[in-house]
Amino acid sequence: MPFEKYQYLSNVWKDGIFDNKVVFCTGGAGSICSAQVRAMVHLGANACIIGRNVEKTVKMAKDIATARKGATVLGLGAVDVRKPEALVEAAEKCVEELGSIDFVIAGAAGNFLASMDQISANAMKSVIDIDILGSYNTVKATLPYLIESAQKYKVDGNTEPTNGTGGRIIFVSATLHYAGTPLQSHVSVAKAGVDAMAMSVAIEQGPKGITSNVIAPGPIADTEGVARLSRKDTRDQSAQSIPAGRYGFVKEIADATIYLFSDAGNYVNGETLVVDGGQWHTSGVATTGAFQYPDFLLSGQAVDGVAGGKKSKL
């Protein structure tokens, strides 16, 4: 179903900044990645989204194309990112149909909830293969085109880029491994590997004009991940532990994507942009008990009942 602009893109971005550019996205039929691509298409890009489910991928491609009149969005289904030859073929088809690959979003991922003693070796391998090897295969398949784009659309940060930007890649990661998350050991291991890969790409390919960065979303409302991996009856309580006081929205991930791919992100390379409302910083705070977060802070009460309490002088 077509979205209203405010649902996937802020008004701060200038229309046409990605004219004549092409974005290649794995996992492009997913809630977050489709919003990232939709925002790029709205601002002038054409796109190629990759997925395993043919019907879902093709349907999403048609839906994303409604973001801009005249946009072309290819939906390539039956593509398994764990197979290098499948990614190479998809990248070749993208260039053949659309002319180039200027931006890449490596967003294919797998997840479920289970403790380590419940995860089989095959299940662990599957997640690692999708996230890490899938990201690696995406880089290998698209890198020659990204290098070409980076050389064609060079920016030095001190002059106006008349033809825009190119040669940039974003890896979609997570914050699960920063402080540790129960039932997510498999994904934590995989995303840590993705983060390391993004840094290696930045270091090795930066001299060729490539920028490689990570976006690490926190809990994003109305997404498949939240729907599958959290209970409805605990979401309001979990949102209270986030300093922003709410779950995020796909628009906020899309805006971060535009920033990194646009002229505004020219000098950002090898970095992780966390978009989680501050959630991972409060992973250890109490949401129950005497000093419940954030209620106790908002109440203005002085700490009492403990030896280390001190009355406020205000």
Rounded distance between C-alpha atoms, residue 185 and residue 74, angstroms: 34
Q: Which residues contact 78 (CB under 8 A, 6 or more apart)?
A: 52, 54
The CA-atom distances, in angstroms, between 227 and each of 45, 174, 223, 263, 294 are: 30, 16, 6, 35, 25
26: phi then psi, degrees, rounded to nearest 5: -85, 145
Among all residues, which ones are annotated catalytic?
A: 173, 191
Q: DSSP characters for 121-159?
A: HHHHHHHHIIIIIHHHHHHHHHHHHHHHHHHHT---SSS
30: phi then psi, degrees, rounded to nearest 5: -75, 165
Sign, CA dihedral 45-168-28-255, equals: negative
Closest by Cα among 84, 90, 19 to 48: 90
Rounded distance between C-alpha atoms, residue 21 and residue 284, angstroms: 43
The residues facing 275 across adjacent strands are 217
Rounded distance between C-alpha atoms, residue 153 and residue 255, angstroms: 21
